[in-house]
Structures are given as C-alpha cells and as structure tokens.
Amino acid sequence: MNDLRARLATLKSEYRKVQGEATIETLRRFRVATFVVLPIHVVLTGWFFFYQAPPGRPELQAWAHSLYMLQAWQALVLLFFGLFAQRYLPRHETANQTGVVLQVLLCASYLFFGMVAAMLDVRVGHGIATFLIICQGVAILSLMRPLLAIGMFGMAYLVFLSLLRVTVGDAALMASLHIQTLSTALISLLLSLLMWHQYTRAVLLRRQLSLSNAALLRKQQELEILAQRDALTGLYNRRQFTVLAELELARAERIPGGIALLMVDLDFFKQINDRHGHPAGDEVLRQVSALLSAGVRSTDLVGRMGGEEFIVLLPHTDLENALAVAEKLRKTLRERPLLVQEVQLPVTASFGLTWLAENQKGLLPSLYAAADQALYSAKHGGRDRIEVAMPNLAQSA
C-alpha cells in the first residue's frame, strides 16, 4: 500500500512538471490543425447551406440547416482559438493557468460540437460516428493529465447520453447507442491516457538526457581546464604554457616584435611552509599568482612551472619595457605583505629575464635556459633582484 502511494505521489509530481509543456504542445497541435480543419468546416458550412433535401423529407432539410449553423459556429470558434494560440505561444515556453484554461475550453467546445452533430445525425437515422471521430481526435491532439481526461470524457459521456435520451424514443436503439457512447468514451479515455503517458516519458527522458549532457559538458570543460591550468593557482600549467609560448614565438617570426621571458622564484618559500604550514604556503602561491596576473597585460602569458617557480612571457616587448615590468612585479611583491591566516607575511622574489629583439629568432628551450641562468644569478646575488641573461641564438639555430 505504501509503495502504491509512493508511486502515485511520484506520478503526480511528474505530471505536474510536464503539464505546462504539454499544454503548449497541445496548443501548437491545434494551431497546426486549424489550417486543415478550418477549411473543412468552411466547406461543410457551404455544403450544408446549399443542400436541398429530397421532396417529402423536410427533416433532412432541417438537419442540413442545423448542421450549417453548427459548422459555421465551430469554424468561428476554431478561428478564435487559433488566433489566440498564435498570439499566446510566442510569449510562453510553458503554459500558465490561462493556457490550461484555453486548452480545456477548446477541447470542451469540440466535444460539445461532436455531441450536437451526432445528436442531429441520430434524428435522421444516422449513427454517432461524428461523436466517435471528435472524441478520438481530441484524445490524440490534446495532452491531458489523467484526472483531467477522466473528467473531460466522463462529462462528454454523461452529457451526450442525456441528449440521446431526450432525442431517441426507441428503447432498443437507445440501448445500442448507449453501448456505443460508453465504448467511445472509454476508448477515447484510454487513448488519451496512452498519449499522455508516452509524452510524459518522452519529456522526462529528454530532460534527463539534457541534464546528463550538461553535466558531461561541464565535466569535459573541467577536464580541459585541468589539462591546461594549474589546479592550485589557476595559472597555465607548464605543458600549456609551453604550447602557448611556442605559438607566440612562431607569431613573432611572422610579425616581427621583441619578446621577453621572465622566470620568477619566491625567496625563502620553504621557511613559510616550515613555520606556517603547507596550507599557508598554498595560500601564498595563490595570492602571488593573482598579483603576477594583475601586474601584466591580458595578452601576456603567466604560468606556474612547479613549486614556488613562475614564468611570464611578454610578447611585443623590448628589453627596457621587460625590465620595467619585472621591476614593477618585484616591488609589488616586496611592498605588499600577504595576509595569510590573519598573519602578514612579507614575500620577495628573484627574477631571471631573457629577451629576443624583433630581428632575432630563438626557440623556447634556449630562452628558458637563459632565463633560468639569470634566475640562478639573482638567487646567488642576494635575492629580491632582477638579472638578465641573453639566449644562446646559435643553439636555437
């Protein structure tokens, strides 16, 4: 019993999530159907208007006249709903209460049309085929929650049965029509439930697939970021920096311009880890990364080589400007103590700089070796300083 209640609660929740989208789909279907059904109503209106009953059959003339007015009325109703849906649909991705009411009224109007038309047919000795066709058409076109479908087709059955009892006097015929009416309502209800169930499953599956695809896309983007970025600092990792730096060097050959490479190594970083712990050291690396990134142009490349060592590529930069950038970064680190774990930590760094003039060509390994040599000199020359070493261009060639 508890499982049944849980299942019903789940279905109710799912149906509530789908109804707004289902109503929009229903209105779209009816809007398309308008272009097919409206001309049929117009043609039938004209046919019944000009219909001439055989001599001695005044009831057929009255039947045609009634259907002429009924077809004309339903054509106007359909035109109104079609225009309203045309205006409503572009403004709504999911239906609000107005959309649901429009759906119910449209279905009710067609069911009532089918009942009246079938009742008129019965009066002249015809069957209730019109009622059957309309009920099944509504069941196929209109996506309704089970309770709404039960109410809609249940009411259609009761109202049509009442009309038949007023119209039909023969008991045997009434019994036959009663069975046909009940069968029509039940078949239409089952068809409506089937259409609703299939649509609900399709919508929920589509939403789940959309969520899964979005999650996979996010994971893919995260993996791409992890493949290109340093997980701790968010800077380019060594591999990605190398790829981008080589592209910049190739661009510099096509569009001549000086290019500088700057190696940065934090001074006495091991003491920070030893005294304050590795979490504090990680926070220092993050803050230093932010300062380095903020201190260069958006077109410059900043990466983390590993540990406390960083690297900066400055495209279209001459030696004088490269030295100015390095000095600005050095002063920024020196003059701005980092707040880590509520403690002000002074941080300095040593800089190794190398540079290619716009008429020179060099490979990244030779630039890296020269910048590393300059950094070594800065470390052994007292730290917190900038040293310059020119690359071995012969080795690059």
pLDDT in tens, 1-44: 666 666 666 666 677 778 888 888 888 888 888 888 899 999 99
- What pLDDT, on the 0 to 100 scale, is given for residue 395? 54
How far apart, in Å, do the first and last CA atoms of the chain sit? 83
Residues of the chain with CATH 3.30.70.270: 238-396
Residues that are catalytic:
308
In tens, the pLDDT along 238-264 reads 999 999 999 999 888 888 888 999 999
Q: Which residue ranges in the chain fall short of pLDDT 70?
A: 1-13, 394-397
- What pLDDT, on the 0 to 100 scale, is given for residue 369? 95
Between vectors from CA 303 to CA 297 and to CA 309, what angle results, nearest 5°? 120
State the Cα–Cα distance between residues 336 and 295, nearest whole angstrom. 13
Instruction: Return the closest-CA partner of residue 118 out of 135, 142, 103, 137.
Output: 135
> Under 8 Å CB-to-CB from 220, ≥6 apart: which residues?
none
- What pLDDT, on the 0 to 100 scale, is given for residue 396? 52
User: How far, in whole angstroms, is CA 252 from its chain's centroid?
Assistant: 41
Q: Which amino acid is at 51?
A: Y
Q: Are 149 and 192 contacting, i.e. CB atoms less than 8 angstroms apart?
A: yes
Q: What are phi and psi of 202, to 5 degrees?
A: -65, -45
- What pLDDT, on the 0 to 100 scale, is given for residue 221? 83
- CATH class as words, domain 238-396: alpha beta
In tens, the pLDDT along 305-332 reads 999 999 999 999 999 999 999 999 999 9
